[in-house]
A and B are shown apart, each in its own frame.
Chain A
Amino acid sequence: MDAAATIAFLIAVIGYTVASTLFFGALLRRAAASSLRVARGALLGAVVAHAGLIVWSTFIVRHDPVGSMQFAVSAAGWVMAAGFLWAEPRYQVHALGALTGPIALALLVLAQFLSTPAWAPPISRFWLALHVTANLLGVGLFLLAGVASAFYLYVERSLKRKNPGLLPAGMPALDSLDLLAFRFLIFGYPFLTFGIVTGGLFFSELGGAGSASLGRAVLGYISWLFLGTVLVWRGALGHRGKKSAFGTLAGVFCVLLLLASYLVRGAVEEPAGHVTFERELGSQSA
């Protein structure tokens, strides 16, 4: 990392930390407007610095954003933080920042420890870039939906058990959390759908792949199906509440599992398609 990138990284880390702390405070007790302004400012600073870091990584150092897990993890965190920044004043869900901020921070830091895999799949760079971007946007938005659903279940449980005293003063209203989770699912689902479709096309273009790739594809379809069911259940049929929240969490868990499987990809497998392509190249040059 050069100096500018180090500074951007530090600003992002400090910004996420300050914002997380202040939003956590807003969860525990009703926050003063000035405190929320500082929290939003810190988060905005972190998001801008984080974006700068991603741009630096992509265009200056020229890490391949398509094949780089570093980019993927970092960008997922960025989408999540930016999505929260957009939703927080609109839905008055300051308290979600107590979880969103730390996750974005964790993904930012985690990205620094990931190396760029040597493997680059032999398919159209343009479509591959779109595929990765769509998936990352989807992951970021689903993470937010998952956070809102987790909070929803906690609030619902406290109210059902008649323990409202357990709810921190700054906890968002139950219906706001339900609505927010649904909105993020709606926004994220088209991206996931695009990612699933393009992923399927690449899978067949690579002439089939190893069992791990197949597992990832299946996991992708399951996530898509889960989240699609929740959307139909919640949106078209109008059912809300605990079942929707559990469905959202299950779908988000599958998406996270998918992301994690990409994280360990380089360590456990050598892509079958890649080998085939290399062999073909080798035989042609010979």
Chain B
Amino acid sequence: MIAVVGFSHHTAPIALREQFTLDEARENKLARTLVGTGAVGEIFFVSTCNRVELYAAAQRGAGHNAPPLTAALREAIIAESPALGPHLYEYSGSAALRHLFRVASSLDSMVVGEAQILGQLKQGYERAVARGSVGPILGQVFPQALRSAKRVRSETEIGAGQVSVPTVAVDLAARIFGNLKGHRAALVGTGEMGQMVGKLLRDQGARLTVVGRSEERSRPIAERLGAEYRSIFDLGDVVRAADVIVSSTSSEVPIFPLSAMTGLHRERRGRSLFLIDLAVPRDVDPRVGDLEGVFLYNIDDLSSAAQASRDVRALEAERAQKIVEEVLFDFEKRKSAAQVAPTIKALRDRAREAFSIELERSLRGKLRDLQPEQRAAVERMIDAGVNRLLHAPSTRLREGAGSGEPEEALEWARALTELFELEPVSSPEHTSAFPPFEEERVSSDDLSAERAPASLTAKET
């Protein structure tokens, strides 16, 4: 059985989330502690700024004294951050699988459809593989989560469009100019959202200029953004040279009036200009947007575009959920089919064994004069008889187990085991050699590691 216990932005505010973060050293320590309880056999962690989750599989042959899996995971978290107790959620079995698939497919993210979560999930899993805390159960489950995520990405528009004002602005700039590397962007004013847009533009390779009234206030911002500083009195030159202008001043009157912009536009000779007006009241005269080659978007325009993308994603999330259910159904079907396979094999072995004993006895008695070819023919005949006899029950058992409602087939398998005194070879989930947990990898340093700062942990958004 697998289970997950954790908390996320759905259940815990940031003030609580920041109390419990995991880095590699703390993961190692926690994994060792949990395995030591006797309840946990395999485990990996997901730690982002929006969630921490512990995915675990029960230890093989866990003794009666071992606590239930979810209880062990829950206690491990509460031991470190008691305040998180009421904010934890837990799932086990199919519900845990569904949750993992949803997380991997970005359906449980704060921004539905964001792509980072899959990478963060993979990193968490890879750390667990390196640590040796992943075995056959989680090893089977995790590829299914990846499969679900890939299908959702490729078959839906879950990641379509941009969903925040700054990213919409930068996306529009790319729609106009393509690669922004080498293009000139100007940030007029020092509004917070303007700075965010400026930073994103610079990250895309644009050469950024910060224009401000007060050098004392604007220059440090320019330096922090890796931009050049220009005075507001150079605004004309800035407009002539810029491809993108982000304006977010607190001016009461437009600082880009139509009259001035018309002249400057003529000097630009039709070069495209993307004006992003984030100010309220507006910094750019709305009529400037009518000039050819000028694309003017204010805060409402950008918000509408972001909302439109969010609406699309919400619709696509419904399709994505269906894909998650399909992958889950398919996986569970195959898992159930695999569960009866050992019973079928044991039944056949038992039948062959019985016939072999009788055959040997006959070959030593009445049939002792048979030639080797004749003996071989009798053995083949018995083998064919066993196959023919067991074909129908084997097929029905397999089909029943893979039908999506495998309980009845599993009951048959149990009955066969009892009736024929089989010693079933368990399914991989039960019998595969559990990978040795590499305790030597957990150093004493890890064990005494202080809580890692939040900035070192992976980010979901």
Residues of A within 8 A of B (CB): 29, 92, 155, 159-160, 162, 164-165, 167, 169, 171-176, 237-244
Contacts and interface: CB of A to CB of B under 8 A. Distances in A.
B364 interface: no
Contacts of A175: 176-178, 272
Interface string B169-183: 001101111110000
15 contacts: A159-B175, A162-B304, A162-B305, A164-B172, A173-B177, A174-B176, A174-B177, A174-B272, A175-B177, A175-B272, A237-B269, A240-B270, A240-B293, A241-B272, A244-B270
Given A164-B171, A240-B270, A243-B292, 16 more contacts: A29-B157, A92-B178, A159-B175, A160-B289, A160-B295, A162-B305, A165-B305, A165-B309, A169-B160, A175-B176, A175-B272, A238-B270, A240-B271, A241-B292, A241-B293, A244-B270
Interface residues of B, number: 27
A239 B309 contact: no
B106 to A, nearest CB: 17
Interface of B: 157, 160-161, 168, 171-172, 174-179, 269-272, 289, 292-293, 295, 297, 301, 304-305, 308-309, 312
B297 A162 contact: yes
Nearest to B293: A241
DSSP majority for the A interface? loop
Contacts of A92: 178
A240 B305 CA distance: 27
Nearest to B309: A165
A193 B168 CA distance: 45
A164 B269 contact: no
A241 B270 contact: yes
A228 to B, nearest CB: 18
Contacts of B292: 241-243
Nearest to A237: B269
Contacts of A240: 269-272, 293
Contact of A159 (B172, B179, B270): B172
B301 A162 contact: yes
B22 to A, nearest CB: 33
A37 to B, nearest CB: 17
Nearest to A91: B178
Nearest to B178: A173
A127 to B, nearest CB: 40
B270 A155 contact: no
A239 B272 CA distance: 10
Contacts of A173: 174-179
A155 to B, nearest CB: 7
B305 A164 contact: yes
Contacts of A29: 157, 160
B376 to A, nearest CB: 53
B261 to A, nearest CB: 16
A176 B178 CA distance: 7
B160 A155 contact: no
B97 to A, nearest CB: 28
Contact of A239 (B161, B270, B297): B270
B308 A165 contact: yes
B383 to A, nearest CB: 48
B155 to A, nearest CB: 11
Contacts of B157: 29
A164 B161 CA distance: 9
Residue among B160, B175, B312 with the most chain A CB within 10 A? B175
Q: Which 10 pairs across A and B sit closest by C-beta, in order of nearness?
A: A173-B178, A240-B270, A238-B269, A239-B270, A241-B293, A241-B270, A174-B176, A165-B308, A176-B178, A162-B301
Nearest to B305: A164
A238 B266 CA distance: 11
Nearest to B174: A173
A237 B267 CA distance: 11
Nearest to B268: A238
A272 B304 CA distance: 64
Nearest to A169: B160
A155 B175 contact: yes
Contacts of A237: 269
A167 B175 contact: yes
B331 to A, nearest CB: 25
Given A238-B269, A241-B272, A165 B175 contact: no
Contacts of B271: 240
Residue among A162, A164, A241, A243 with the most chain B CB within 10 A? A164
Contacts of A169: 160
Contacts of A243: 270, 292
Contacts of B174: 173
Nearest to B271: A240
A165 B297 contact: no
B293 A165 contact: no
Contacts of A174: 175-177, 272
B327 to A, nearest CB: 21
Nearest to B290: A160
Nearest to A92: B178
A238 B293 CA distance: 13
Contacts of B295: 159-160
A68 B282 CA distance: 63
A92 B177 CA distance: 12
Nearest to B304: A162
Contacts of B308: 165
Nearest to B308: A165
Residue among A162, A242, A243 with the most chain B CB within 10 A? A162
B250 to A, nearest CB: 25
